[in-house]
Amino acid sequence: MSKPDRVCVGAIAGAFGVRGEVRLKSFCTEPEDIAAYGPLFTEDGAGSYTVKLTRPVTGGLGARLSGVATKEAADALRGVTLWVDRARLPSLPDDEFYHTDLIGLEVRDTGGAVIGQVRAVQNFGAGDILEIYAPGRKTTLLLPFTRAVVPTVDLTAGRIIADPPEEVE
Question: For residue 58, what pLDDT is reported?
Answer: 85
CA distance linking residue 167 with residue 113, whole number of Å: 17
pLDDT in tens, 144-168: 999 899 999 998 899 999 998 875 5
**Are 12 and 76 found together in one domain?**
yes
CA distance linking residue 85 with residue 114, whole number of Å: 32
**Are 103 and 81 found together in one domain?**
no
**Are 106 and 162 found together in one domain?**
yes
Please identify, among 88, 113, 138, the residue that sits at the C-terminal boundary of a domain: 88
User: Residue 147 maps to which CATH number?
Assistant: 2.30.30.240
In a domain, 144, yes or no: yes
Confidence of residue 61 (pLDDT cuts 50, 70, 90): very high
CA distance linking residue 88 with residue 84, whole number of Å: 7
pLDDT in tens, 9-21: 999 999 998 889 9
Domain span at residue 161 reads 99-168
Question: For residue 1, what pLDDT is reported?
Answer: 42
Chain mean position to CA 66:
23
pLDDT in tens, 66-110: 999 999 999 999 999 999 998 888 888 878 888 888 999 999 999
Confidence of residue 2 (pLDDT cuts 50, 70, 90): very low
Please identify, among 22, 54, 88, the residue that sits at the C-terminal boundary of a domain: 88
User: Residue 52 maps to which CATH number?
Assistant: 2.40.30.60
Confidence of residue 137 (pLDDT cuts 50, 70, 90): confident
**Are 111 and 59 found together in one domain?**
no
| Confidence (pTM) | 0.72
Please say whether the beta carbons of 127 and 144 come within 8 A.
yes
